[in-house]
A and B are shown apart, each in its own frame.
Chain A
Amino acid sequence: MNTILIIEDEKLLADALKRKLERSGFSVFIAIDGAEGLEFALDKHPDLILLDIVMPIMDGITVLDRIREDEWGAKVPVLILSNLSDAESIKESKASGINDYLIKTDWKISDVVKKVKENLKNR
Chain B
Amino acid sequence: MEESVKKLKVMVVEDEELLLQAISKKLSVRGFEAVTCTSAKQALDYLSNLGELPDVIWLDYYLQDMNGLEFVKELRKIQEWSKIPVMVVSNSASDEKRNSMLALGVNKYVLKAQYRLEEIIDMISQIASGKKV
Contacts and interface: CB of A to CB of B under 8 A. Distances in A.
Contacts of A10: 24, 33-36
Contacts of B49: 16, 19-20, 109-110
A19 B51 CA distance: 8
A75 to B, nearest CB: 24
A15 B3 contact: no
B42 interface: yes
A108 B49 CA distance: 9
A21 to B, nearest CB: 12
A22 to B, nearest CB: 11
A59 B94 CA distance: 40
A26 to B, nearest CB: 16
Contact of B17 (A20, A31, A86, A108): A86
Contact of A105 (B1, B24, B39, B52): B39
Contacts of A109: 45-46, 48-49
A13 to B, nearest CB: 5
Interface residues of B, number: 26
Interface size class of A (residues with CB under 8 A): 20 to 34
Contacts of A30: 1-2
Nearest to B38: A105
Given A104-B38, A105-B38, A13 B46 contact: yes
A12 B54 contact: yes
A90 interface: no
A12 B52 contact: yes
A110 B42 CA distance: 12
A36 B1 contact: yes
A64 to B, nearest CB: 19
A32 to B, nearest CB: 7
A105 B50 contact: no
A32 B17 contact: no
Contacts of B17: 83-86
Nearest to B10: A12
Given A16-B51, A29-B1, A105-B42, 9 more contacts: A12-B9, A12-B54, A13-B35, A16-B46, A32-B3, A105-B37, A105-B39, A109-B48, A110-B49
